[in-house]
């Protein structure tokens, strides 16, 4: 079975623990948080908890031997095998154990594979004997929702536009986002309402800076303004970090336009579209969207995905140059 991270946590909170959980995905911070939550809910003590690197066949065999050991004065044992990359031999050892796993052990295997490989014997065995869960970077809407919920747990009310600004700046990696939220909570002190001004100040923006500047500019197709904005972002940060954050903002801009056009065609009121698409303080949004066709927006989104794939797979590319080339293409006169 494949579970979402939320479903996984709900299952553990309900006191249900399967023989195995296979946790994958690039979101290492979220996986670590999940493991910490499991350990807390499992109440595993030093006698009934062991962790192994799991990278090689010997490590996996040691984890299996521990998993086959009966728990000590407890109903279950928790065993963890983690590694950035599980070797084929390690996967085979773990998969073989899962043909008949111990009923008194929960085995957790963690790696940083981006997605489930249907040819992976361990993934198939884990899905049959327990559950597989992929921790992917959050999309913008889900990341903002989680920030608002986490702020509420801390006794604060984080405004939706403030959460969106934080995501626009930091991206969808929960490890980074949670760290930025902690900084923000410290920054506001006893203040219970957290608005856009607090986020801007905490993130170090200039007073006149706008966290949605690039998103709006790429919608206007103003090449000079877009390139200037991009240059400012590249000025004091690592090119790779800026590139992927900028790509996420560009995709968000065009996805909003595409969804808005489709919602308008379906007869949805403008105010409802603004609420559902989280459009804040942007009076010209619908006018800009009306000037571009759906076909062009779909093409632009494909180009963003192609550029991202190139940057991730071709390490020799210059991130700044590739983004500038993309901006020039997106702002060509035919884009209007």
On whether the CB atoms of residues 27 and 146 are closer than 8 A, the answer is no
What's residue 208's pLDDT?
40
What's residue 276's pLDDT?
79
What share of the chain in percent tops pLDDT 70? 94
Phi, psi of 20 (to 5 degrees): -150, 145
Q: 281: pLDDT confidence band, cut at 50, 70 and 90?
A: low
* Of 67-81, 109-123, 289-303, the least confident: 109-123
Q: 334: pLDDT confidence band, cut at 50, 70 and 90?
A: low
Q: Tell me the mean pLDDT in the region 64-76.
A: 91
What's residue 188's pLDDT?
84
Which of helix, strand or coil describes residue 109?
A: strand
pLDDT digits (tens, 9 = 90+) for 155-178: 999 998 888 888 877 777 776 787
Residue 320 reports pLDDT greater than 70: yes
pLDDT digits (tens, 9 = 90+) for 195-250: 888 887 776 544 344 566 788 889 999 889 889 888 888 876 778 778 888 888 89
Q: Which fold has domain 140-202?
A: Helicase, Ruva Protein; domain 3 (1.10.8)
pLDDT digits (tens, 9 = 90+) for 87-136: 888 889 999 999 999 999 999 998 877 778 878 888 899 999 999 998 87
The pair of structure tokens assigned to 313 is 């797979």
The residue among 195, 184, 237, 227 whose CA lies nearest residue 324 is: 227
DSSP of 235-285: HTS-HHHHHHHHHHHHHHHHHHHHHHHHHHHTT--HHHHHHHHT--S-TTH
Gyration radius of the chain's alpha carbons: 23
Beta-carbon count within 10 A of 114 CB: 13
Contacts of 271-280 spanning 24+ positions with Cβ under 8 A: 278/141, 278/144, 278/160, 278/161, 278/164, 280/160, 280/161, 280/164, 280/212
pTM above 0.85, yes or no: no
pLDDT digits (tens, 9 = 90+) for 173-195: 776 787 788 888 888 888 889 98
HSE at residue 42, side-chain half, CA atoms within 13 A, is 28
Residue 20 reports pLDDT greater than 90: yes
The pair of structure tokens assigned to 91 is 């996967």
What share of the chain in percent tops pLDDT 90? 31
The pair of structure tokens assigned to 140 is 């913008």
Q: Tell me the mean pLDDT in the region 265-279.
A: 83
The residue among 248, 234, 257, 241 whose CA lies nearest residue 335 is: 257
Mean pLDDT of the chain: 85
Residue 266 reports pLDDT greater than 70: yes
What CATH number matches the domain at 213-335, 1.20.272.10, 3.30.420.40, 3.50.50.60, 3.30.300.30? 1.20.272.10
Beta-carbon count within 10 A of 101 CB: 21
Residue 252 reports pLDDT greater than 90: no
Q: 293: pLDDT confidence band, cut at 50, 70 and 90?
A: very high
What's residue 207's pLDDT?
38
Q: Which fold has domain 2-134?
A: Rossmann fold (3.40.50)
Q: Is 267 left (phi over 0), alpha (psi -120 to 50) or beta?
A: left
Instruction: Provide the CA 271 distance to its chain's centre, in angstroms.
Output: 28
Residue 48 reports pLDDT greater than 70: yes
End-to-end CA separation in angstroms for the chain? 46
Q: 296: pLDDT confidence band, cut at 50, 70 and 90?
A: very high
Domain boundaries, the chain: 2-134, 140-202, 213-335
C-alpha pair distances (Å), 109 with each of 24, 48, 54, 70: 8, 16, 8, 19
């Amino acid at each position: 079975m494949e579970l979402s991270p939320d479903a996984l946590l709900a299952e553990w909170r309900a006191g249900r623990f399967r023989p195995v959980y296979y946790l994958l995905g690039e979101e290492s911070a979220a996986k670590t948080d999940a493991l910490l939550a499991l350990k807390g809910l499992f109440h595993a003590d030093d006698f009934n908890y062991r962790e192994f690197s799991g990278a090689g066949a010997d490590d996996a065999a040691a984890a299996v031997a521990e998993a086959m050991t009966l728990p000590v004065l407890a109903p279950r044992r928790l065993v963890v095998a983690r590694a950035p990359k599980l070797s084929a031999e390690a996967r085979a050892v773990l998969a073989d154990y899962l043909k008949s796993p111990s009923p008194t052990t929960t085995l957790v295997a963690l790696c940083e594979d981006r997605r489930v490989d249907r040819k992976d014997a361990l993934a198939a065995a884990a899905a049959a004997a327990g559950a597989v869960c992929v921790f992917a970077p959050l999309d913008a809407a889900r990341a903002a929702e989680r920030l608002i919920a986490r702020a509420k747990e801390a006794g604060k009310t984080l405004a939706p536009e403030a959460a969106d600004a934080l995501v626009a700046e930091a991206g969808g990696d929960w490890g980074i986002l949670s760290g930025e939220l902690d900084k923000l909570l410290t920054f506001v002190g006893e203040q219970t309402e957290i608005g856009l001004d607090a986020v801007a100040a905490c993130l170090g923006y200039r007073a006149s800076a706008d966290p949605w500047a690039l998103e709006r500019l790429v919608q206007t197709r103003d090449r000079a303004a877009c390139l200037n904005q991009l240059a400012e972002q590249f000025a004091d940060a690592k090119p790779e970090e800026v590139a992927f954050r900028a790509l996420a903002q560009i995709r968000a801009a065009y996805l909003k336009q595409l969804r808005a056009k489709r919602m308008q065609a379906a007869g949805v009121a403008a105010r409802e579209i603004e609420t559902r698409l989280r459009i804040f303080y942007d009076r010209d949004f619908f006018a800009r969207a009306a000037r571009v066709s759906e076909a062009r927006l779909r093409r632009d989104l494909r180009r963003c995905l192609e550029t991202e794939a190139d940057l991730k797979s071709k390490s020799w590319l210059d991130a700044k140059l590739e983004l500038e080339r993309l901006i020039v293409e997106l702002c060509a006169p035919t884009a209007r």
